[in-house]
Structure 1
Amino acid sequence: MTGAAPFVERFGLWTTERQDQARELVRRIDGGELDVVRFAFADQHGLLRGKTLVASEARAALWEGVQLTSTLLAKDSSHRSVFPVFSAGGGFAVPGLQGGADITLVADPTTFRVLPWTPRTGWLLCDAYMPDGSPCPYATRQILQRAVQQLESQGLAFVAGLEVEFHVFKLEDARLGLADSGQPGEPPRVSLLSHGHQYLTELRYDRVDPVMELLRSQLVALGLPLRSLEVEYGPSQFELTFGPTAGVTPADTMVLLRSAIKQICQRHGYHATFMCRPRIPNVMSSGWHLHQSLRRLSDGRNAFMPEAASGQPLSELGMHYLGGLKHHARGAAVLACPTINGYRRYRPHSLAPDRALWGRDNRGAMLRVLGGPGQAGTRIENRVGEPAANPYLYLASQLFSGMDGLQRQLDPGPSADVPYETPAEPLPRSLEQALACLRQDSGLCAQLGQGFVDYYCHIKEAEIARFNLEVSEWEHREYFDMF
């Protein structure tokens, strides 16, 4: 349309802060600082997709947006389309998504980074919009934004810190031969950087120091709030922790962190994976522990910190929020642990939870409460997540659950001092069970939107169906000779 205002202006999609940040980015582009800019979008799996534009084109795309095919919303974890995108309604039953029609990515200029591992390359995180300027109903970052706004309307801010485990291996063979191609292709062949089982020993850390220093220098240059680098228990297993940030930022940090680590490692002959339990001898499962609290907007104080006389580890508000997390633990499980592989982590006495309960500073409990009177760092650590989770859905599940606890003043019950023996609702033991629990949780379905829940479950059920078609090594070993 000749003379029409740019997409961002036409639908009023930017705050004043974003407009100012966009103008600053244009100044840097015009100053010749960048050759290309990556416009990235976190899809339904929390994977970054998008387009790379030369700097001169990126300048205009800030206001006009970047067009991306909506078929990307139809992909399962093998990148197969599991919706009939060329049927009426595109298989989504959402007007505007039929026939592989475009969605528009609009950059959030406040997320701009220069990627330190690739020369003169900028990076922006984007939100997805429909042609009429409304948020794409399957854009998970906007689901979390909605949850954060609901909380802020109650005078509270969400604060979260990340504790992320993952594996880094030496890359021996990328498996790029013609016979290795597939959907998905063959996984790379790797070897260990350490034998493991020397948790937090200085000698083991020093042996992997070149990798740790590589990650540290690049992540700090990226501007992520890195706090510590640790050698975890298993072979080639690491852990990084990140300081608390507010609102959507913790989830933004996680999607960028995963992509950054994989890119940095690949460029230096390593393979990093956030898969929960790789099929490697003696491997240990990786978790993603989410530390969370609420902050009062009125005075900036931690709303979870209790009064000394209360005798509780959390304030009354904090206890109700905890009650919401516990009440919705089964329904929210699939959003914290969305892969078939992730459920191999839930084992008794394994530092991974197997039931919905809480405990005071107890690493066997699903919800570990830390702090107390006078401690500004009072918080809840949810230990249920896997590092492959979509961060926006994981965090949104916490907010929607916790806010329900606040509204209904839910009681979390007593602390479980023996979490693997205390009777409590069991967490789902498979992806299939977890999807059923989500569908049965009317509160979460209402907050996420029933249309989104149906969409998400359809994708995950397609993954389960493909898994069930494969003959596993266990089956072959068990039955091939005996029968």
Structure 2
Amino acid sequence: MKKPGFIERHHLWTAAQTELSEQIKTIVKEQNLLLIRTAWEDQHGIVRSKSLLPQAFLSALENGMQISTGTYLFDSGGALVFNPFVAGGSLEMPEMTGAPNLLAVPDPHTFRILPWAKRTGFILCDQYFQNGQAMPFSSRGILRRSLAELHQRGLEHIVGLEVEWYLAKLEDPMLAIAHVGFPGNPGEPPKVSAVEHSFQYLLESHNPAIHDLLGILAENLVEMALPLRSVENEGGIGQFEFTFEPIPALQAADTMMMFRMATKQICRQQGYLASFMCRPGLKGSSSNGWHLHQSLVDVATDENAFMSADSTTLMSDLGKHFVAGILKHANAASVFTTPTINGYKRFRPNSLAPDRAGWGLENRGAMIRVQGGFGDPSTHIENRVGEPAANPYLYMASQLISGLDGVDCRLDPGSPTEEPYTTENPTLPKSLIEAIAHLKQSELFPEKMGQQFINYIIKIKESEINRFLAAVADQAPEDYLKQVTDWEQREYFELF
């Protein structure tokens, strides 16, 4: 009798996942796949992967795939933050001593064939220690735990993605040895040119210049079964917005991971560069936002739990409490919604981005924009605070954690505002430094995400901050906190 593998032994899959894994084995054989990119998210929300040949991948569907803990040790610029060769790996975790291997367990729900890569499959994984315990720094795992708490309440988190990003023509990838970087010091950013001549919001006549590429992107995303809804030219030169249909939160977070990965790879194949950096250091660029559309659905009735029971009330009590929780914890949650130094340069008055924690009905200047309302079955909230470089799992988990605290404490969000930039609502952090200070004072996020993880993410972000401050030591804070610096362009432009 065949001995059970790691996945079966530790009961890591549902019956549905087990059934799907058998279908995947058939697809791998019938499609004659050569490589399967077996992937996982890192703390920054960036896809890391190993490419397995079919036989090794089939083994991973039973026993997981051995991966190093190494990807958890670095900040966004590749600087080593933790020394794994001391007791506890500098993390006070015996499991991290000596940079041991983890087991990356594929999630069959995420398997795709990559249309732009010949004979290549792709699948996302969850991370476990060798003893079958979940890796506490896995952001996908953190979202799973938040959703499990929500499901115990009989609710499901439904999320729609609205993502802005920049497209530029790649002129010089800057790969000469003199231009490449080293850990903690990324190389020269690629040189690019614009794909359109000037800013004209939603201009139809610009479409011929970029239609073919956008068509290639749309075709590939649809072929990957990602729920693409719309494509439009946005407010900057070469800026675009892609939106996706509302779907359950974990599926939405996985979609964001695959969307960013696919867009960057396909554009690069075509001689372009796609960047999800919040505010690129390019002439004519405005900030990229990632607006998160959210509602809660009653699992038993399939009804929208944010919808009011009558046409005279904006939202249900649960919906208003949920909004109040997000507003209350907005500053601490900024580490998850806006995790880069660059992202805080988006929070400007009268900029279509929020600068304080308030809410309003159909108001694009408010942090929380209510859409629908007054008995409308489509009632939902749009959080406009996020940047497209955010880790999608942590962004969504921070919303659930904050919102449910508002529900449990029956918090009141106050009255919706019509003047979001002049109200007395608390201002959002003006820098990642301020956001980290708020997270250090939070009791909620350590309770829900784990104190180990909060300590970990703070150290990761402080490494990023310290490298930034060293690079701008000769500049005044009023300059480097407002203008996009060369350091940011090196750090984020190509990576995100």
How would you bin the TM-score normalised by the shorter chain? Answer: over 0.9
**In 2: Cα distance, 1:282 partner to 1:440 partner:** 38
Q: Is the 8 A contact 1:70 1:103 kept in 2?
A: yes
- Structure 1 length-normalised TM: 0.96
Establish whether residue 73 from structure 1 lines up as the match of residue 72 from structure 2: yes
Paired residues for 1:3-402 under 5 Å: 5-183=4-182, 184-309=186-311, 311-402=312-403
Whole-angstrom CA distance in 1 between matches of 2:418 and 2:15: 50
Q: Which has the higher contact order (CA 8 A, sep 6+)?
A: 2
Report how far residue 201 of structure 1 moved: 1.7
> Using the alignment, how far apart are the partners of 1:454 and 1:87 within structure 2?
18
What residue identity is the alignment partner of 1:210?
Answer: D
State how far apart, in whole Å, the 1-side matches of 2:354 and 2:85 are: 43
> For 1:182-221, what per-residue CA distance to the aligned partner results, in whole angstroms no more than 9, with x for missing partners?
1312110000001342111211233321221121111111
Secondary structure of the residue aligned to 2:170 is strand
Greater alpha carbon shift after TM alignment, 389-398 vs 328-337: 328-337
Read off the aligned partner of 2:11 and give its amino acid letter.
Answer: G
Name structure 1 gaps, 5 residues minimum.
Answer: 479-483
Deviation of 1:4 (Å):
5.0
| Distance (whole Å) between structure 1 residues aligned to residue 296 and residue 172 of structure 2 | 46
Structure-to-structure mapping, 1:439-478, within 5 angstroms: 439-471=440-472
In 2: Cα distance, 1:49 partner to 1:467 partner: 24
Could you say what the CA RMSD is over the residues aligned between the two structures, in angstroms? 1.6
Task: Report the 3-state secondary structure (helix = DSSP H, G, I; strand = E; otherwise coil) of the residue aligned with 2:94.
Answer: coil
Q: What is the deviation of 1:247?
A: 3.1
1:100 is paired with a residue whose SS is coil
- CA distance in 2 between counterparts of 1:225 and 1:377 reads 18
> Using a 3 Å threshold, how does the CA distance of structure 1 residues 472 and 192 change in structure 2: closer, same or farther?
farther
Q: 1:481 maps to which residue?
A: none
Indicate if the aligned counterparts of 1:195 and 1:234 stay in contact, CA closer than 8 A: no
- Distance, in Å, in 2 between the alignment partners of 1:13 and 1:459 is 29
Asked whether 1:426 is paired with 2:427, we answer: yes
Looking at structure 2, the residues matched to 168 and 191 of structure 1 have their Cα atoms a distance apart, in angstroms, of 9
Write the deviation string for residues 421-454 of structure 1: whole angstroms up to 9, x where unpaired.
1111110000010011111121122111111111
- Structure 1 residues 109, 177: CA separation in 2 closer, same or farther (over 3 Å shift)? same
CA distance in 1, matches of 2:326, 2:69: 33
Deviations 1:320-366 (A, max 9, x none): 11111111111111100000000111110000100001001000000
Is contact 2:87-2:94 (8 Å) kept? no
Give the secondary structure class of the aligned counterpart of 2:111: strand
Tell me the CA shift for residue 61 of structure 1: 1.2
Q: Distance in 2 between matches of 1:250 and 1:398?
A: 14
Report the secondary structure of 1:123's partner residue: strand
How far did 1:88 drift? 1.0
Contact 1:36 1:121 in 2 (8 A): yes
Q: What whole-Å deviation, never above 9, does each CA across 1:378-403 have from its counterpart, x for those lacking one?
A: 10000000000000000000000111
Unaligned runs of 5+ in 2: 480-496
Q: Following TM superposition, by how much is the alpha carbon of 1:472 offset from its aligned partner in structure 2, in angstroms?
A: 7.1
Relative distance call for 1:437 and 1:379 in structure 2 (3 A) is: same
Quick check: 1:325–1:402 contact (8 Å CA) kept in 2? yes
Give the fraction of aligned pairs with identical amino acids, expressed as a percent: 45
Q: Which moved more, 1:192-201 or 1:144-153?
A: 192-201
Q: Tell me how far 1:468 sits from its aligned partner.
A: 1.0
Q: Distance in 1 between matches of 2:347 and 2:188?
A: 27
Number of the residue aligned with 2:483: none
Q: Residue 213 and residue 474 in structure 1: after superposition, are their counterparts in 2 closer, same or farther (change >3 A)?
A: farther
Q: Give the whole-Å Cα distance in 1 for the aligned partners of 2:431 and 2:249.
A: 30
CA deviations 1:86-127 (Å, max 9, x no partner) are 111111111211111011100000110000100111110000
Instruction: After superposition, give the CA deviation of every residue in 1:264-314 in whole Å (9 maximum; x if it has no partner).
Output: 0000000000000111112101000000000000111111111225x3321
Contact 2:233-2:241 within 8 A present in 1 as well: yes
In the alignment, which residue of structure 1 is the partner of 2:412?
A: 411
Amino acid at match of 1:117: W
- Preserved CA contact (<8 Å) 1:169 1:190: yes
**For residue 370 of structure 1, what is the amino acid of its counterpart?**
Q
Separation in 2, partners of 1:257, 1:331? 27
Shift in Å, 1:474 = 5.5
Partner amino acid, structure 2, of 1:13: L
Amino acid at match of 1:271: L
* More displaced 10-residue stretch of structure 1: 53-62 or 353-362: 53-62
User: Which string of whole-angstrom CA distances, capped at 9 and with x for unpartnered residues, describes residues 209-262 of structure 1?
Assistant: 122112111111111101100000111100000000013111101011101100
Counterpart-to-counterpart distance in 2, 1:95 and 1:12: 24
In the alignment, residue 314 of structure 2 is paired with which amino acid? Answer: P
Letter in 2 for 1:291: H
- The 2-side partners of 1:345 and 1:30 are apart by 48
Q: Would the aligned equivalents of 1:276 and 1:388 in 2 still touch at CA under 8 Å? A: yes
Determine the C-alpha separation between the residues in 1 that align with 2:249 and 2:181.
39
Deviation at 1:369, TM superposition (A): 0.5
Deviations 1:111-167 (A, max 9, x none): 100001001111100000011101101000000000011001000000000000000
CA contact (8 A) 1:155 1:296 kept: yes
- TM-score, scaled relative to structure 2: 0.93
> CA contact under 8 A between 1:41 and 1:49: conserved in structure 2?
yes
Partners of 2:313 and 2:375 within 8 A in 1: no
Find the aligned partners of 1:195 and 1:189 in 2 and give their Cα distance: 17
The alpha carbon displacement at 1:32 in A equals: 4.7
